[in-house]
């Protein structure tokens, strides 16, 4: 082997590195994207963290005789051994003087748990205790039931007349639970901790000599009975693994064929031949999409089948060697695989459309492979959310893309049909909507010649600086507007992590004002001054098309106020707010003067947020003339900037209204007026409505109360319906401000002009 010439190696190294550094997209994917992606993922996890809240467990406690009182186990429906901060996690129904050990007690407990009324059933049988303090054997009674409120007083009276024997609760409670259900298993763990703490308290009192009698100091020996059958245990195990594996393989199985069918054809030079054929662009997209779907479905299905075969044969061999140690593990039930294959169809369509749209943007297969990781990292939190035991299928989680499908699959695979059926339509509706949007995006990509036939984008620092100084455009482009929104999100995220928590109104006002001015308005203003030649036009700081648009915007905010309150109640129903976490802020705001609150929480946010989101960001996103897409993207960025899910959803909806007003009026002033009025009405409503209801009880017909752990007031349905009608009329009025004639209107106007000129040319 010849000796290497390191000078030649250095030349080749310099050449290749220089070529890579000249590719702007490669630089962005390698250096810039990680700086943006992971903080955004952190924000997403913070947004989704509330779905991992601890849900309360419902426990049915049945005692044949009164429980010991040294110390008491239950007082006022609360378990005394549970700390006050966790007392709401165990909701107890206590039935005393019942006969729990019936012949069909297990069947009744299983039925109660399956119905979802209770998560576990705890039975305390009775044992006899003589006056001298000796304890007899605990013998199960052959009668009595778990359900009902009936008592056994008559039987106890007859026993007391025959012999001086007292019935006390046994120290051997029996806990019925279902290990195949996450709620039941979590309830069992919480109850076990509560009983252990209770026993520790009894031991401490006994050692101090404050408890008399062996029956009161006997140690608790808790017995358990798992009501789950082997098939249910296997289904519960596989329901957490298989959906995740299926979706991961569906995503990866869709992406690589998509890269080959789009970026690969660009490299091979065959895409031009396909586009010159008689087929429409939408037909080409559909053909490629179905091809990608077939490969994606086949990839996921084959992996699932291989996992099932491995579990059937290999694990069975290990189970035999381990003498039954793998009894709870085995092949997934056939019903679970059937539900998986059925649910794969919409998921495969969604991932295939997203992969096709992203692969169309790539100029080469190398660049296309870079796009897989961001898509995977965005999808991972949605998949992982459904794997947590505390995540449950409800209306709030059903409308989350991907997460709703996985939770629905988990319930169907575990046989929870009663809980799953009500949410089939919401899950399928959201998934179908996402599929439609992704397919439309792919079609738009194929209709854009700049995307299909873009040249290599070479990057040079000198050329970039020269364009930055001399070739600035009057208004920002789409990329500049979108990056401004991302920059605001990142700055607010890092600032929110570093700023201290407010302790009083002054500190709260300082932090809120600093966050709005420095982290929202300042980036937009600086980018408008530095990157554009007309900052005033970019920020839409000009008079509206008509002065009446400002009073109309204020009136629209007033009309939409009842709708906003109703939407708030709906969002809080779907995604409950942690009242304990909000208590410090409610105390701070409760002591604040109204004028300062209106200035800080109504006027200042209206100015700062509108300059950013309806000023620079919307101006940049609307540079290509796609107004609807610009309004939707700016609204999503506006909602995501609020940090809390409940507030983000409402902000996104009203961001669409604000974006529509900004486009129709061509000015930021009506948006500021609408925003300030909307926030001011919300502040005044929450502060003064309780007092008005006490002073004028007749307002109950107009304003109702919603109890979500704290009193939340909202308008009655007639008021909301009337407000929606008036709001629709005002939005229609705004539509007339920016009338753009259609092609048919222009043709008719030209025809009438030519006809008038010909008529004048004719002799009279």
**What is the average pLDDT across 12-36?**
69
Distance CA 248, CA 92 (A): 41
Burial class (CB in 10 A: 0-12, 13-18, 19+), 248: middle
Q: Kindly indicate the confidence band of residue 483, based on its pLDDT and cuts at 50, 70 and 90.
A: confident
- Give pLDDT tens digits for 437-471: 888 888 887 777 766 666 545 545 555 556 655 66
Provide the pLDDT for residue 506.
86
**What is the average pLDDT across 288-298?**
90
Percent of the chain with pLDDT over 90: 12
Taking 90 as the threshold, does the pLDDT of residue 678 lie above it? yes
Residue 253 falls inside a structural domain? yes
- Give pLDDT tens digits for 338-391: 888 888 888 898 898 888 888 887 777 777 777 777 788 778 878 887 777 777
Taking 60 as the threshold, does the pLDDT of residue 579 lie above it? yes
Q: Which residue range is the domain that position 134 belongs to?
A: 57-228
Residue bearing tokens 């006809």:
755
Provide the pLDDT for residue 557.
93
Residues 645 and 703 in one domain: yes
Total Cβ atoms within 10 A of residue 108: 17
Residues 25 and 105 in one domain: no
Token reading at 233: 């245990």
Nearest to 467 by CA among 532, 415, 514, 512: 532
Percent of the chain with pLDDT over 70: 74
Residues 644 and 723 in one domain: yes
**Region of poorest pLDDT, from 265-269, 349-353, 607-611, 732-736:** 265-269
**What is the average pLDDT across 617-633?**
88
Q: Are 405 and 250 in contact (CB under 8 A)?
A: no
Residue bearing tokens 């043709």:
747
Residues 621 and 691 in one domain: yes
Q: Kindly indicate the confidence band of residue 267, based on its pLDDT and cuts at 50, 70 and 90.
A: confident
Secondary structure E strands in 607-758 = 703-707, 711-715
DSSP 2: P
Taking 90 as the threshold, does the pLDDT of residue 554 lie above it? yes
CA distances (Å), origin 589, targets 500, 503, 585: 17, 11, 6
Q: Are 256 and 206 in contact (CB under 8 A)?
A: no
Secondary structure E strands in 591-645 = none
Q: 739 or 123: whose pLDDT is higher? A: 123
Taking 60 as the threshold, does the pLDDT of residue 105 lie above it? yes
**What is the average pLDDT across 251-266?**
84
Residue 103 falls inside a structural domain? yes
Q: 140 or 47: whose pLDDT is higher? A: 47
Provide the pLDDT for residue 614.
92
Burial class (CB in 10 A: 0-12, 13-18, 19+), 251: buried
Residue 458 falls inside a structural domain? no
Residues 224 and 235 in one domain: no
Residues 91 and 169 in one domain: yes
Cβ-defined contacts of 484-487 (< 8 Å, 24+): 484/523, 484/524, 484/527, 484/612, 484/616, 484/617, 484/620, 485/612, 485/613, 485/617, 485/633, 485/634, 485/637, 485/641, 486/36, 486/40, 486/637, 487/523
Q: Are 632 and 656 in contact (CB under 8 A)?
A: yes
Q: Kindly indicate the confidence band of residue 284, based on its pLDDT and cuts at 50, 70 and 90.
A: confident
Residues 663 and 736 in one domain: yes
Pair type for strands 120-124 and 174-177: antiparallel
Torsion, CA 671, CA 675, CA 676, CA 680, rounded to 10: 160
Residues 547 and 696 in one domain: yes
Q: 539 or 380: whose pLDDT is higher? A: 539
- Highest mean pLDDT range out of 90-94, 443-447, 462-466, 657-661? 657-661
Q: How far apart are the first and last CA of the chain?
A: 103
**Region of poorest pLDDT, from 427-436, 496-505, 607-616, 660-669:** 496-505
Provide the pLDDT for residue 474.
84
- Highest mean pLDDT range out of 2-6, 200-204, 710-714? 200-204
Residue 356 falls inside a structural domain? yes
Residues 412 and 369 in one domain: yes
**What is the average pLDDT across 226-244?**
76
Number of structural domains in the chain: 3
Residues 44 and 89 in one domain: no
Taking 70 as the threshold, does the pLDDT of residue 326 lie above it? no
Q: Among 452, 482, 498, which residue terminates a domain?
A: 452
Residue 748 falls inside a structural domain? no
Taking 60 as the threshold, does the pLDDT of residue 487 lie above it? yes
Total Cβ atoms within 10 A of residue 573: 14
Distance CA 664, CA 243 (A): 46
**What is the average pLDDT across 518-529?**
91
Residue 260 falls inside a structural domain? yes
Q: 42 or 533: whose pLDDT is higher? A: 533
- Highest mean pLDDT range out of 53-62, 87-96, 283-292, 389-398? 283-292
Taking 90 as the threshold, does the pLDDT of residue 673 lie above it? yes
- Give pLDDT tens digits for 679-698: 999 888 888 777 777 777 77
Q: 633 or 157: whose pLDDT is higher? A: 633
Taking 90 as the threshold, does the pLDDT of residue 306 lie above it? no
The per-type count for the chain, helices as H runs and strands as E runs, is 33, 11
Token reading at 65: 């005789």
Distance CA 559, CA 536 (A): 31
Nearest to 407 by CA among 377, 431, 374: 431
**What is the average pLDDT across 663-682?**
92
Residues 185 and 73 in one domain: yes
Distance CA 89, CA 400 (A): 25
DSSP 122: E
Q: 370 or 602: whose pLDDT is higher? A: 602
Q: 437 or 44: whose pLDDT is higher? A: 437
**Region of poorest pLDDT, from 135-139, 284-288, 398-402, 672-676:** 135-139
Structural element, H or E, at residue 90: strand 90-95
Q: Kindly indicate the confidence band of residue 741, based on its pLDDT and cuts at 50, 70 and 90.
A: very low
Taking 80 as the threshold, does the pLDDT of residue 210 lie above it? no
**What is the average pLDDT across 10-15?**
79
Residues 259 and 160 in one domain: no
- Give pLDDT tens digits for 489-498: 888 888 877 7
Output phi, psi for 143, to 5 deg.
-140, 170
Q: Among 228, 257, 290, which residue terminates a domain?
A: 228
Q: Give me the chain's average pLDDT, please.
A: 76
**What is the average pLDDT across 570-580?**
75
Token reading at 521: 């308005």
Q: Are 32 and 374 in contact (CB under 8 A)?
A: no
Token reading at 620: 């940049």
Distance CA 427, CA 394 (A): 10
Token reading at 105: 């007690």
Token reading at 421: 């059926």
Q: Among 175, 210, 228, which residue terminates a domain?
A: 228
Residue 127 falls inside a structural domain? yes
Provide the pLDDT for residue 501.
79
Provide the pLDDT for residue 668.
92
Q: Kindly indicate the confidence band of residue 80, based on its pLDDT and cuts at 50, 70 and 90.
A: confident
Report if pTM > 0.85.
no
Residue 102 falls inside a structural domain? yes
**Region of poorest pLDDT, from 23-27, 271-275, 323-327, 429-433:** 323-327
- Highest mean pLDDT range out of 110-119, 256-265, 492-501? 256-265
């Amino acid at each position: 082997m010849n000796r290497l010439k390191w000078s030649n190696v250095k030349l080749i190294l310099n050449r290749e590195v220089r070529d890579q550094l000249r590719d702007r997209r490669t630089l962005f994917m390698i250096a810039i994207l990680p700086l943006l992606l992971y903080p955004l993922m952190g924000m997403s996890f913070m947004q989704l963290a509330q779905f991992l809240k601890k849900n309360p467990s419902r426990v049915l406690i049945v005692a044949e005789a009164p429980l010991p009182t040294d110390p008491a186990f239950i007082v006022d429906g609360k378990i005394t051994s549970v700390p006050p901060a966790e007392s709401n996690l165990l909701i107890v129904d206590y039935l005393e003087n019942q006969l729990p050990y019936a012949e069909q007690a297990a069947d009744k407990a299983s039925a109660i748990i399956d119905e979802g009324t209770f998560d576990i059933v705890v039975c305390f049988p009775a044992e006899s205790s003589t006056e001298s303090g000796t304890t007899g054997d605990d013998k199960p009674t052959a009668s009595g039931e778990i359900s009902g409120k009936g008592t056994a007083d008559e039987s106890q009276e007859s026993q007391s007349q025959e012999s001086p024997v007292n019935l006390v609760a046994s120290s051997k409670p029996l806990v019925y639970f279902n290990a195949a259900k996450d709620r039941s298993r979590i309830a069992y763990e919480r109850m076990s901790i509560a009983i252990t703490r209770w026993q520790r308290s009894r031991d401490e009192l006994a050692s101090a000599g404050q408890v008399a009698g062996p029956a009161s100091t006997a140690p608790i020996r808790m017995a358990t009975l798992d009501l789950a059958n082997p098939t249910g245990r296997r289904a519960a195990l596989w329901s957490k693994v298989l959906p995740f594996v299926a979706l991961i393989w569906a995503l990866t199985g869709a992406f690589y064929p998509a890269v080959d069918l789009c970026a690969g054809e660009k490299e091979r030079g065959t895409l031009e031949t396909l586009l010159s054929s008689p087929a429409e662009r939408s037909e080409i997209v559909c053909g490629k999409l179905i091809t990608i779907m077939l490969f994606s479905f086949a990839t996921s299905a084959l992996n699932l089948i291989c996992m099932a075969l491995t579990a059937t044969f290999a694990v069975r061999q290990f189970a035999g060697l381990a003498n039954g140690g793998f009894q709870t593990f085995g092949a997934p039930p056939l019903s679970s695989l059937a539900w998986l294959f059925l649910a794969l169809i919409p998921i495969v369509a969604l991932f295939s459309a997203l992969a096709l749209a992203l692969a169309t943007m790539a100029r080469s297969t190398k660049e296309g492979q870079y796009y897989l990781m961001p898509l995977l990292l965005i999808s991972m939190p949605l998949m992982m959310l459904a794997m947590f035991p505390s995540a449950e299928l409800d209306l709030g989680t059903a409308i989350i893309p991907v997460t709703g499908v996985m939770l629905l699959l988990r319930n169907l695979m575990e046989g929870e049909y009663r809980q799953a059926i009500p949410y089939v339509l919401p899950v399928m509706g959201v998934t179908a909507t996402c599929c439609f949007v992704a397919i439309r995006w792919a079609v738009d990509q194929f209709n854009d010649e700049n995307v299909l036939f873009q040249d290599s984008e070479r990057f040079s620092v000198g050329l970039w600086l020269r364009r930055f100084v001399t070739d600035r455009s009057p208004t920002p482009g789409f990329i500049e507007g979108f990056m401004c929104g991302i920059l605001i999100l990142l700055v607010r995220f890092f600032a929110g992590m570093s700023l201290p928590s407010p302790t009083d109104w002054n500190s709260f006002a300082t932090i809120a004002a600093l966050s709005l001015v420095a982290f929202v308005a300042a980036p937009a203003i600086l980018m408008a001054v530095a990157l554009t030649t007309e900052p005033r036009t970019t920020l839409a700081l000009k008079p509206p098309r008509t002065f009446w648009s400002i009073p109309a915007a204020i009136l629209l905010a007033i009309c939409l106020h009842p709708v906003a309150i109703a939407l708030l109640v709906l969002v809080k129903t779907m995604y409950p707010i942690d009242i304990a976490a909000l208590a410090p802020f409610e105390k701070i705001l409760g002591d604040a003067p109204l004028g300062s609150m209106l200035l800080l929480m109504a006027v200042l946010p209206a100015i700062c947020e509108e300059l950013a989101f309806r000023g620079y960001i919307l101006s940049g996103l609307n540079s290509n003339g796609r107004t609807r897409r610009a309004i939707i993207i700016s609204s999503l960025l506006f909602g995501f900037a609020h940090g809390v899910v409940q507030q983000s959803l409402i902000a996104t909806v009203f961001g669409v209204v604000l974006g529509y007003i900004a486009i129709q009026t061509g000015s930021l002033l009506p948006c500021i007026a609408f925003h300030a009025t909307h926030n001011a009405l919300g502040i005044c409503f929450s502060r003064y409505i309780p007092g008005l209801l006490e002073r004028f009880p007749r307002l109950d017909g107009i304003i109702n109360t919603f109890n979500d752990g704290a009193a939340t007031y909202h308008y009655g349905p007639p008021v909301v319906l009337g407000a929606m009608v008036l709001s629709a009329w005002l939005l229609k009025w705004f539509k007339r401000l920016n009338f753009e004639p259609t092609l048919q209107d222009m043709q008719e106007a030209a025809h009438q002009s030519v006809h008038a000129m010909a008529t004048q040319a004719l002799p009279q």
